[in-house]
Amino acid sequence: MNILVFAEQIDGSFKKSAFEAVSYASQIAQAHNGTVTAVVPGNVADDKLAELAKFGANKIVSIKHDNLNGFNAETYAKVICNTATAEGSSIVVISNTYSGKSVAPRVAARLKAGIASGVISMPNTSAGFVVRRGVFSGKAFADVNLTTTVKVLAITPNTFNTLENAQAVNIVNAEAGLADADFTTKSVEINRVTGKIPLTEAEIVISGGRGLKGPENWHLVEDLANALGAATACSKPVSDMHWRPHSEHVGQTGITIKPNLYIAIGISGAIQHLAGVSSSKVIVAINKDAEAPFFKAADYGIVGDAFEIMPKIIEAAKAFKAN
Amino acid sequence: MKILVCVSNVPDTTTKVTFTENNTQFNTAGVQFIINPYDELSLTRGLELTEKLGGTVTTITVGLADTEASIRKALAIGATDAVRINAVPTDAYFVAEQIAAYAKAENFDLIFTGRESIDYNGGQVCGLLAEMLGLPSVNVITSIEIDGTTATMERDIDGGREKLTANLPLVVSAQKELTEPRIPNMRGIMAARTKPLKVVEPVASELTSAAVGFELPAPKGSVKLISVEEAGSLISILHNEAKII
């Protein structure tokens, strides 16, 4: 059995999510006596490609092509599927990042494969091929049986550990087999936020709600985030009122996150908000209303005025960091 | 400009999720269903584009007759007409196959889906549908403008945003920020009653996946309260007790 992993490069390097995907595939391979092939569209240097072998890739298929350096769902799907066919892969593993979410269904349709996205478990093959995924925006889990010969698994980033399982480095260059006309979208401009931790990758998230009374008070969120090396987030009303950008909105209709630590300041904990954060390992709620629903979902709580509480926590966090 | 908007009928965001039949079925008792919020954004943006450029906005829903309240609402918001594929939407693959079968003969210029449905959160229909129709796809767009046959869009990417162009026909998925949802007015509600709602029987499709069971997250233990005076101790508790920092 061969398992194919799409390892996404960004500017010629891999992010942690790519190593997580290779590690995940490698664990399936070990359980089923299979091999792992990683496919990398775009130009990546050999020493970078070799990093994938460290996490268990037996073979690395590098598809160098200038036009593949930027992500394009259609052409990426084509080269991933061509590789899957050439390798005889029965499982395709893709990290469910924004790019992964775009390409995984296209791969599934091309391969006529059943697809599960947002996967949070290893496959259980005792009865069929069952994986667990989050549904109802974090309010529940579903166990999904994929009934096709070829299967596509889009795994949730930040869920599976990267596991070293070094293999001999075996890099193979393959032709993209694409014509200019295949590149149907054209990138005009890319703006990546630099110097800030992306919300979906953050291990600690500090989040503010209406209880903070206005955008001018966000230093309370940011100071704690800086002290703890955390990302910042907000509730829906806060982004609706444009106190903070919508990209910070976590919850059912915003981003679903699962950091190790989520600290909610002045957020009541409406069911829609909890849906987006309830998979966090540890939740701290700070709210002046002792009846706020967040206290039912939190591990730790402080009932009181955020403007009185936050300076004490920030001070303690700075002292902690200094040690 | 001929636009198709895929509309999913989903439980209201305030729904308390429970299951029946030994945790194999979502319990719809007492649940209010709504248009998937991302699909509502798609619909509104579709209407804004046709108001500027001329054309029609058709909605398509895969579902049984009980989805018609949401479909009528889409018509009240302003859709020209609606199509309902008369089948239970078993999974995204099935839904995409049904929509593709209908869309193939219709030559839409632009097809909108939502970023994901807020019930099953697969986010798959955009890509599946585009691949089945042999069209380009752009996910999670936060803006779209059309000039002739070229669409200029912005989309969320990991850690940032990209501006890009693509030629029509095209399949896109709507992200929050695309526009503000429109609320139907009385005239729209009256007009919706007589707008065409075509019911189409599903095409044959092979099963690719099946949900075999559901589970609710384990309930949290009770919260440990820290007093305001001792608020600073939170950091040492997180370090020593929770071992999380």
Provide the pLDDT for residue A201: 83
Q: Is the pLDDT of residue A302 over 90?
A: yes
SS3 A92: strand
Closest CB from B159, B210, B228 relative to A308: B228
Task: Say if A265 is an interface residue toward chain B (CB within 8 Å).
Answer: no
Q: Is residue B176 part of a domain?
A: yes
Lowest mean pLDDT among A73-77, A192-196, A295-299: A192-196
> pLDDT at residue A194 above 80?
no
In a domain, B170, yes or no: yes
Instruction: Give CA angle at B236 (B234, B238), nearest 5°.
Output: 65
In-domain check, residue B241: no
Q: Domains for chain A: give ranges and CATH numbers.
A: 2-182 (3.40.50.620), 199-322 (3.40.50.1220)
Q: Model confidence at B132, in pLDDT bands (50, 70, 90)? A: very high
**Do the domain assignments include residue B228?**
no
Give the closest-approach CA distance of B238 to chain A in angstroms.
9
pLDDT tens by residue, B19-63: 999 999 999 999 999 999 999 999 999 999 999 999 999 999 999
Show Cβ contacts of residue B135 under 8 Å, excluding neighbours closer than 6 positions.
B111, B169, B170, B171
Does the residue B229 lie in any domain? no
pLDDT of residue B84: 98
Single-letter code of the amino acid located at A158? N
Percent of chain A beyond pLDDT 70?
100
Looking at residue B241, its amino acid is E
> What is the average pLDDT value for chain B, to the nearest integer?
96
Q: pLDDT value at position A158?
A: 86
| Domain harbouring B54, CATH code | 3.40.50.620
What is the arithmetic mean of pLDDT over A259-266?
97
Count of alpha carbons within 13 angstroms of residue B210, beta-carbon side? 9
Q: Does A115 touch chain B (CB under 8 A)?
A: yes
Of chain A, the percentage scoring pLDDT greater than 90 comes to: 90
Question: Which of A257, A234, A256 is closest to A245 using CA atoms?
Answer: A234
What is the extent of the structural domain holding B130? 2-220
Amino acid at A285: A
Question: Which of A61-95 are b and which e, b meaning 16 or more Cβ less than 10 Å from the residue's Cβ?
Answer: bbbebeebbbbbbbbbbbbbbbbbeebebbbbbbb
* Number of folded domains that form chain B: 1
Asked if residue B242 belongs to a domain, the reply is no
What is the pLDDT, as a whole number, of residue A100? 97
Interface touch B166/A137, C-beta < 8 Å: no
Distance CA A140, CA B24 (A): 12
Chain position carrying tokens 């980033």: A157
CB atoms within 10 A of CB A181: 6
Share of chain B above pLDDT 90, in %: 95
In a domain, B127, yes or no: yes
- Place A252 in a pLDDT band, splitting at 50, 70 and 90: confident
pLDDT of residue A192 exceeding 90:
no
B233 assigned to some structural domain: no
ipTM: 0.95
Phi then psi for residue B209, to 5 deg, are: -155, 160
Nearest CA in chain A to B15: A271
A134-167 pLDDT, tens digit each: 999 888 999 999 999 999 999 999 889 999 999 9
Determine which of A135, A205, A280, A313 to mutate to test the interface with B (most B C-beta atoms within 10 Å). A135
CA-to-CA dists, residue A73 to A9, A188, A247, A323, angstroms: 14, 16, 22, 46
